[in-house]
Amino acid sequence: MYRYLLPFTLVALGLPVFAQTELPGASRIESAPATANRVVEAAGPLTLQAAMSMALGANPELSAARYELQAVEGAVLQAGILPNPSLELGVEDTRRETRETTVQLSQPIELGGKRGARVQAAERGRDAAQAELNARHADIRAAVITTFFEVLAAQERLSLAENSAELAKRATNAASRRVAAGKVSPVEETKARVAESGIRFELVQARSELATARKHLAALWGNPSPRFVRAEGQLDALPVLPEKTALSVRLATAPALVRARVEVDRRQAMAQVERSRRIPDVTLNLGVKRSQELGRNQAIVGVSIPLPLFDRNQGNILEALRRTDKARDELAFAETRLHNELAQAFEKLDVARQETDALRQEVLPGAQSAYDAATKGFEAGKFAFLDVLDAQRTLLQAKSQYLRALTEAHRAAAEIERILGEPVQANKQ
């Protein structure tokens, strides 16, 4: 008897009878790998383009943001699904002659625009996940640029330290020959050896800095042990200084600012979801009652409506509204913070460019000329070795300052790119 009542009830409700149904998109659900793809670069020269490609393809943070976006797609799918009906089966009296059997379906009917508000909130959550992915993308790009040029600068510092060690060794040998010839005091040779020891210590530091920078760069694509031989690029190709008046226009589409705006929209949508929950849902009951004693079937129709006497969702509404206010304040703070960060990065880039130009055109040629003259004069016996040390120290400081200025320029340009989400071009010198 029961097998006849269930199809009858389903048909009475106008519902199709299926053995099993599949949700839309269920065939697209696949299990993801536990960890992000690991990339190991080739054992050869590394360019900025290759480093950028590997980092954007295998960075764990970017991979996590992509999976979050895919996960939110599932939330959007779930938000649009109707609530399931429930099936009730009741039997009164265990005696066959007087038994009454009831089969009933209950279908909740959402009122107050709950489903639409829920879908809109899920879509705003998807927008937030996309904005987060874009922000992470800009962060990784900036990190790759900054770290790559730090590797280039570390390579140049190592080369400078090696050349300085060679020069210091030559100066020590020259001082030894002059001491042996009786032209200068042995103190000059001692000073030369002390200076050479200090430069060799700087060489050790330069090697350590290069090793650290290489590891930081390779870590951006998940490789803890870098294999590339050296980074190839133009460290002295200064980034272009963008127009200051155009920065405010470009700042309006900054990834972090877009993320903050989307968060406000998401919070407003969630507040609307909580408002829709103030209106109670209606449950429609429809079924069949079979009386063995009377020998007939009786239709059952009913409606269940909760009475919102105490719980009107007022607490959740208040929480959602205050979180919306919080998101608005965070948006205002993000606008101010990004404006200040952009202004600081612009000033750093401007100062670094001016410092680099001054060092390249004036300081470095003068320091090199002074060192060459001091070295020749010392070998000819016209200058004291202290003059050579001073000239050498001045030249090394000028070259180190030049490398720091170049690194700072690329770091500031990368910061501008991170804020704006747009690349800053390099100016070929």
The runs of H, that is alpha helices, within 279-363 are 314-358
C-alpha–C-alpha distance, residues 131 and 72, integer Å: 13
Which is more confident, 296 or 196? 296
Q: Are 168 and 195 in contact (CB under 8 A)?
A: yes
C-alpha–C-alpha distance, residues 249 and 235, integer Å: 29
Which is more confident, 334 or 97? 334
C-alpha–C-alpha distance, residues 368 and 392, integer Å: 9
Q: What is the pLDDT of residue 191?
A: 76
Q: What is the pLDDT of residue 106?
A: 94
Number of folded domains that form the chain: 1
Block residue for tokens 């009454």: 100
Domain encompassing residue 153: 2-14+44-307+336-427
- Asked if the structure places residue 322 within a domain, the reply is no
**Burial of 202 from C-beta contacts in 10 A (0-12 / 13-18 / 19+):** middle
C-alpha–C-alpha distance, residues 277 and 316, integer Å: 9
- Asked if the structure places residue 330 within a domain, the reply is no
The backbone region for 43, taken as left when phi is positive above 0, alpha when psi lies in -120 to 50, beta otherwise, is beta
- Asked if the structure places residue 328 within a domain, the reply is no
- The model's pLDDT over 198-217, given as tens digits with 9 standing for 90+, comes to 888 888 999 999 999 999 99
Percent of the chain surpassing pLDDT 70: 88
Number of Cβ within a 10 Å radius of residue 317? 17
What tokens does 282 get?
Answer: 């209606």
C-alpha–C-alpha distance, residues 369 and 380, integer Å: 16
- The model's pLDDT over 1-52, given as tens digits with 9 standing for 90+, comes to 444 444 444 444 444 443 344 444 444 444 444 444 668 888 889 999 999 9
Q: Which of 131, 148, 123 is closest to 53 using CA atoms?
A: 148
> How much is the mean pLDDT over the chain?
85
C-alpha–C-alpha distance, residues 253 and 310, integer Å: 45
What tokens does 378 get?
Answer: 């010392």
For the chain, the maximum distance between any two Cα atoms, rounded to a whole number of angstroms, is: 136
C-alpha–C-alpha distance, residues 262 and 127, integer Å: 7
C-alpha–C-alpha distance, residues 271 and 277, integer Å: 10
Q: Are 192 and 379 in contact (CB under 8 A)?
A: no
Check whether 139 has a pLDDT greater than 60: yes
**Position 293 confidence tier, pLDDT thresholds 50, 70, 90:** confident
- The model's pLDDT over 70-126, given as tens digits with 9 standing for 90+, comes to 999 999 999 999 999 999 999 988 788 888 899 999 999 999 999 999 999 999 999
**Position 138 confidence tier, pLDDT thresholds 50, 70, 90:** very high
Give the long-range contacts of residues 259-264, CB within 8 A, separation 24 or more: 259/128, 259/131, 259/132, 259/134, 259/135, 260/327, 260/330, 260/331, 260/334, 260/335, 261/331, 262/124, 262/127, 262/128, 262/131, 263/128, 263/327, 263/330, 263/331, 264/324, 264/327, 264/328, 264/331
Q: Give the start-end residues of each E strand in 80-233.
A: 86-92, 100-109, 231-232
Q: What is the pLDDT of residue 175?
A: 75
- Asked if the structure places residue 33 within a domain, the reply is no
pTM of the model: 0.80
What tokens does 115 get?
Answer: 């489903």
Contacts of 134 (CB under 8 A, 6+ apart): 255, 258, 259, 421
Highest mean predicted confidence (pLDDT) among 134-143, 185-194, 361-370: 134-143
- Asked if the structure places residue 22 within a domain, the reply is no
- Asked if the structure places residue 37 within a domain, the reply is no
- The model's pLDDT over 219-257, given as tens digits with 9 standing for 90+, comes to 999 998 899 999 999 998 888 888 888 888 889 899 999
For 113, 167, 188, 202, the CA distances from 388, given in Å and listed in that order, are 84, 11, 11, 19
* For range 167-187, the mean pLDDT: 76
- Asked if the structure places residue 354 within a domain, the reply is yes
The phi and psi torsions of 288 (rounded to 5 degrees) equal -135, 140
- Asked if the structure places residue 30 within a domain, the reply is no
- Domain of 234: which CATH number? 1.20.1600.10
What tokens does 18 get?
Answer: 């299926």
Contacts of 358 (CB under 8 A, 6+ apart): none
Q: What is the pLDDT of residue 37?
A: 62
Q: Are 138 and 62 in contact (CB under 8 A)?
A: no
